[in-house]
Every structure is written in C-alpha cells, then in structure tokens.
C-alpha cells in the first residue's frame, strides 16, 4: 500500500528592519520520520541557510540507499537514520522499512501496475506554484456511492483534502468521497502547503429512478471574456438521480468548465449541453459581450503612458485591462505607508471606516478620506500597483487586481503587463508555532481560527538593510526582485466561501516580511498602529529572540458621519 508523506513547507525569511547575524542550519523538510515498504522510494528535500559547502546525504544502515540528490530507496526491512550534512551542520530523518504486506482485500481485477492514488489526467510536472484546482469525477452521488477527487497544481502525495461543510451527507477518506444520506451537499477543498484550492460541492441524491429529461440553465448567458457563468440543471421526474456531464458543443477551444463554472477567454459564442447517461439536455448558448467603443484598440503602450491619467470609470478600466494597460496610480512608492494627516481616534483607539460604498452595478468602490469625503475610486478588474489602491482593491473585491498572478516567479519581458506585473497570490497560514516571531492575526486559521488569509506582493522600491532583500526596484521591466513587502488579507470565512462583507474582512500590510503589521482602516492613508516582533524588541526573523506584540484592536464607524 502506498504511503503518503506530508511535506512541510518552510518559508525562511530575512527581514529588513534589523541587521543581526543569523545562525546557519540544515533542515530536512519531510518531517522527523517516514515509513516505506521494500522497493518504495521517497524524495527527501533539505534547505540550508548561511552555510558554505556541499550538501551531502548519508545513511547509517544498509536497509536503505540514498543518492546524492536525497532519493531514498527501501532495500530491506529495518530502521535507518538518513542525514543531510553540510560541514558540522546536519539534520536527520528516521526511515522505517517494512516488508511488503499482501493485502487480502486487493481486487484481483485491478491492475497492480496502476497507482490508484495517481490521477492519469494530472501532469506530474505541473509547476507547484501555479493555481491549485480541485475537481471531482462525479458531482452528485447516491448514498453508499463514491466519487474520486483529483487535484491539479500539486502532487497528490502532498495534497490534503478537507471537508468544508456537509459532513453528515458525505464522508471523505483520502481522495474518495462516499455518500451517507440523501438530501444535502458536502463541500471540500484541497490544500498543498500554504495553497488552498477552489471549493468542490458533491450532492448526495436519492436514487432508483432514471431521468427522462434534463433542463439546463445558467445564472447568466451574457458575460464578458474572462468572466464566469455558473451552470445548474433539473432532472425530470424530480425523484430521478444521476451525474451530469457538461459538453462544449461550440467554443471548446476558448472555454473551460470546472465543476459547474464556465469560464470563457474569447468573444466568440459558447454552447453547452449536459448529459445523464443517454439523456441529453437542452443547449444553452452564451453570448460574450463585444466592446462597442474600445478607445485603446490602436493605442500603443508608449503613447498611453506618455500622457498617463488613471481610469475614470469601470468601463474605462475594463477596456484598459483588455489591452494590459494600468487603471490606477503608477507612481513609485516607499516601503512605509503614507499616513493620512489626520487618522480619527476615539477613546485612544483608531477608527476604521465602516462605510462600504459601491456603484449600483458593484463595479466601482468609493474610497473615502479621513474627513468622510471621496478620495479615490477603485474599479473591479482594473490594474493597480500602489499600496493604497491595492489594499483598497482587496478590501472591496476580495481578490487580486488584473495585473497580478498567483505565481511567485515571472518575467516582465514575456508578460504583457511588463514592468507593472506583480507576483504571488498564495495562502498565508500565520502559524505562530512555526514562525514564533510573527504576531497572531485575528481569527487566523493557522492559529486555530476560522478565517483563511492570503498574501500578495507589494512592489515597493526595495529594502533598507537586510542583505536578503536588495534595495532594487521590484520590477525594472526586465527582471523582478521580490522584496519583503506583503499585503495579507482575509479571503475565506468559516463557511469556506469568500467574504463579501467589507466589515468582516481584514487587510494588513507588512513591509519587513511578517515581523510587524499595520491594519488597513478602509480610508485613504488609513493605517492602524504597528504591532509585532520588531515593535516588541525582538530580533529580526529570529526563532530564538522574539517578542511579537499583540494585534491592536480598532473601532468601526462610518466616516460619512464625519461630514
């Protein structure tokens, strides 16, 4: 039976606010121990910091063999200590090897050479930094029936499936979901290190009757390129059960269906039908909106930026994004946030603006100043780079601006956003057991809370002293030098869904790589009191000399009342 190993992902960071010597070390990322059967292998991974010299792998027992790359092969039953060594520094993992056990429950009809834990549709060479996508073989099942989940963007040995809700309707063991009782829906997500996938819902339905017809519908059939529509279906008779399969009759080369979500990337029509067994649904055609007055069709980037002005409407921002042109302020910025001249305080506590003002169509968010007057506008799907506007975007829309990518690497030369490309949209655990110099953020999942935080890069003009983060431009148009500045925000609530209420969100800024944080207070120049490790007198990024101060609470009040 194949064993799984949870790969501990380690983020070793050096922060800019102090220049203290750091002790060198070696660390194996695969945990303290693992178990293999004879003939199995495991790839060990080690990291080193502040050490010169070659990393050498060695074993104290002949029951395993380890090569120079850390690949361990189980040869015979026994226990071995495998060490990663650089000079006088080392770390070890205990490897227990067992004889191959014959499983009396093995199905003789199953090909023993096919790994049941490997999805043949998943590319093992997928970049581990890309988006994590969870899919199901079937999205509705009967009680007692099972469906298999699969994950893209991470090896299944590293992925962990979690039940978000509905555990009374279906259970999950590894990647297998089994129906328990009919009449409800269970939801699941996959995590891989610090990344979290989309949510997959599995309906558990009553069986026994085959459908005679299928009615296919969508929440909208008028969408823009790059947007998503959600499909749904109804079976007749109502007592019928079955798993629907969606098919792209038209537009398959520029459309994709994941679960019930249809996403299009072109302005050509897309037609979808659904099938349950031999029964075919009606066809639904989606008309993709074609811009009628795009002002940037024949505008070059050089002429656009030569007389640059920020976007003046959501429609303007939409057209700009279609041509990879910016919508917001493009001025370079310092690491420290620009604070408003007046930050309202009540009883010694900073106020956070609770007024969340959107346009009727929800595409524009109005940013107030500390005086309650309009200070800026942020447009959904626009492109932004400054700290103020990106923080407001996260607060307003709970997702990344158009010029951001989830990847942690990218070349401005080959990307259409050029020097305005920004990297990194990934899960932030906030696990203070692993990183004791970090302060505990409110209700964060990595600290036992219910809120899932994500982080993104902020392209500041470099760091001040830490040699790990050179004082260079984040993106000079040719290369990207990632600095220590991040925005960290709440993306998912306790129900596993994105948080829509601004007043239930948190957005924080850290420009010394998680040592200290300031809360964005939902107004122009509104940043709360700094808290964290350096604030408390700790040494930068030290796991031995740390003293993070607690999160500083705020009060919420509508700034419109200040007018």
Across residues 286-307, what is the average pLDDT?
84
Q: Where are the domains of the chain?
A: 1-116, 133-204, 213-289, 314-563
Q: What is the pLDDT of residues 369-405, one digit of tens each?
A: 999 888 999 999 999 999 999 999 999 999 999 999 9
pLDDT at 378: 95
Mean pLDDT of 85-108: 74
Take residue 380 and report the two structure tokens written for it. 């959904």
Q: Look at residue 504 in the predicted model and tell me its pLDDT.
A: 94
| Sheet containing 531-532: order of strands | 425-428, 452-457, 486-492, 507-510, 516-519, 531-532
Longest dimension (CA), the chain: 78
C-alpha distance from residue 500 to each of 161, 394, 506 (Å)? 25, 11, 12
Omega of the bond leading into 215 within 30 degrees of 0 (cis): no
Average pLDDT over residues 105-128: 48
Supply the pLDDT for residue 188: 92
Q: What is the pLDDT of residues 172-205, one digit of tens each?
A: 988 899 888 887 889 999 999 888 989 888 888 7
Q: Which pLDDT band holds residue 126 (cuts at 50, 70, 90)? A: very low
**CATH class for domain 314-563?**
alpha beta
Q: Do domains 213-289 and 314-563 have the same CATH topology?
A: no
pLDDT at residue 449 tops 80: yes
Rounded CA-CA distance 376/154 in Å is: 40
pLDDT at 109 over 80: no
pLDDT at residue 563 in the model: 56
d(C-alpha 138, C-alpha 122), whole Å: 17
Architecture label for domain 133-204:
Sandwich (2.60)
Q: What is the mean pLDDT of residues 283-297?
A: 77
- Phi and psi at 367, nearest 5°, equal -90, 125
Question: Which pLDDT belongs to residue 36?
Answer: 85
Instruction: Tell me what the mean pLDDT of segment 90-96 comes to.
Output: 87
Residue 494 has what pLDDT? Answer: 82
pLDDT confidence band for 490 (50 / 70 / 90): very high
Is 513 in a helix, a strand, or coil? coil
What whole-number distance in Å separates Cα of residue 129 and Cα of residue 126? 9
Above 90 in pLDDT, residue 291? no
Instruction: Say how many residues make up the chain.
Output: 563
Please say if the pLDDT value at position 106 is more than 80: no
Under 8 Å between Cβ of 469 and 520:
no
Average pLDDT, the chain: 83
Q: What angle do CA 333, 338, 341 make, to 5 degrees?
A: 150
Task: Return the CATH class of domain 1-116.
Answer: mainly beta
Contact assessment for residue 217 and residue 154, using Cβ atoms and an 8 Å cutoff: no
pTM of the model: 0.52
Residue with more model confidence, 90 or 423: 423
Phi, psi (deg, nearest 5) at residue 393: -65, -45
- Ranking 68-82, 298-312, 509-523, 529-543 by mean pLDDT, the lowest is 68-82
CA distance 441 to 449: 9
pLDDT at residue 138 above 90?
A: no
Q: Average pLDDT for residues 540-557, to the nearest whole number?
A: 94
pLDDT score for 482: 84
| More confident call, 95 vs 267 | 95
Q: Higher pLDDT residue, 20 or 85?
A: 85
Q: What is the pLDDT of residues 2-57, one digit of tens each?
A: 333 333 333 433 333 333 444 567 778 777 788 888 888 888 888 777 777 788 88
Domain 213-289 has CATH 3.40.50.1700: no
At 534 the pLDDT is: 92
What pLDDT, on a 0 to 100 scale, did the predictor assign at position 115? 52
Q: What pLDDT is stored for residue 45 in this prediction?
A: 82
Please report which confidence band the pLDDT of residue 1 belongs to, taking 50, 70 and 90 as the band edges. very low
Give, as one character, the DSSP assignment of residue 55.
Answer: -
Cβ neighbour number for residue 169 with a 10 Å cutoff: 22
| C-alpha triplet 134, 137, 125: angle, nearest 5° | 50
What pLDDT was estimated at residue 376? 93
With a cut of 90, say whether residue 343 has pLDDT above it: yes
């Amino acid at each position: 039976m194949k064993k799984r190993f949870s790969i501990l992902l380690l983020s070793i960071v050096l922060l800019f606010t102090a220049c203290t010597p750091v002790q060198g070390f070696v660390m194996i990322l695969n945990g303290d121990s693992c178990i293999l059967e004879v003939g199995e292998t495991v790839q060990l991974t080690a990291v080193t910091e502040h050490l010169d010299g070659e990393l050498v792998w060695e074993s104290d027992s002949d029951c395993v063999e380890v090569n120079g790359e850390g690949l361990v092969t189980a040869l015979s039953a026994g226990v071995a200590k495998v060490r990663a060594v650089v000079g006088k520094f080392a770390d070890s993992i205990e490897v227990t090897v067992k004889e191959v056990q014959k499983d009396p429950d093995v199905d003789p009809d199953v090909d023993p050479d096919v790994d049941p834990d490997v999805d043949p549709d998943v590319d093992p060479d997928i970049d581990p930094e890309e988006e994590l996508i969870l899919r199901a073989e079937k999205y509705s099942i009967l009680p007692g029936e099972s469906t298999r989940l699969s994950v893209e963007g991470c090896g299944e040995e590293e992925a962990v499936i979690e039940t978000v809700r509905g555990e009374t309707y279906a259970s999950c063991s590894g990647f297998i979901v089994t129906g328990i009782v009919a009449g409800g829906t269970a939801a699941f997500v996959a995590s891989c290190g610090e990344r979290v996938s989309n949510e997959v819902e599995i309906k558990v339905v009553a069986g026994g009757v085959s459908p005679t017809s299928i009615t296919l519908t969508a929440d909208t059939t008028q969408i823009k390129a790059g947007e998503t529509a959600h499909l749904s279906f109804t079976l007749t008779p109502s007592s019928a059960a079955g798993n629907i399969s969606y098919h792209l009759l038209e537009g398959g080369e520029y459309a994709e269906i994941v679960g019930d979500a249809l996403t299009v990337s072109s302005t050509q029509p897309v037609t979808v039908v659904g099938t349950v067994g031999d029964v075919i649904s009606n066809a639904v055609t989606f008309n993709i909106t074609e811009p009628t007055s795009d002002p940037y069709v024949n505008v070059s980037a050089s002429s656009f930026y030569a007389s640059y002005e920020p976007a003046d409407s959501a429609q303007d921002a939409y057209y700009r994004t279609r041509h990879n042109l910016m919508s917001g302020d493009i001025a370079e910025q310092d690491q420290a946030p620009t604070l408003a001249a007046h930050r309202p305080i009540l009883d010694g506590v900073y106020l956070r603006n609770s007024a969340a003002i959107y346009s009727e169509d929800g595409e524009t968010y109005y940013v107030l100043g500390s005086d309650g007057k309009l200070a800026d506008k942020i447009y959904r799907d626009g492109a932004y780079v400054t700290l103020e506007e990106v923080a407001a975007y996260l607060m307003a829309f709970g997702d990344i601006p158009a010029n951001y990518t989830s990847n942690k690497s990218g070349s401005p030369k080959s990307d259409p956003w050029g020097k305005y490309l920004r990297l990194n949209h990934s899960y932030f655990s906030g696990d203070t057991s692993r990183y004791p110099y970090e302060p505990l953020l409110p209700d964060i999942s990595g600290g036992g809370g219910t809120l899932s935080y994500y982080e993104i890069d902020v392209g500041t003009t470099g760091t001040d002293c830490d040699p790990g983060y050179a004082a260079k431009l984040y993106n000079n148009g040719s290369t990207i030098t990632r600095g220590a500045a991040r925005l960290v925000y709440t993306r998912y609530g306790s129900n596993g869904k994105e948080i829509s209420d601004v007043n239930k969100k948190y957005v924080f800024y850290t420009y010394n790589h998680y040592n200290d944080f300031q809360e964005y207070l939902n107004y122009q120049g509104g940043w709360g009191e700094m808290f964290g490790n350096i604030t408390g007198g700790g040494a930068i990024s030290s796991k031995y000399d740390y003293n993070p101060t607690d999160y500083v609470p705020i009060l919420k009040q509508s700034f419109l009342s200040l007018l």
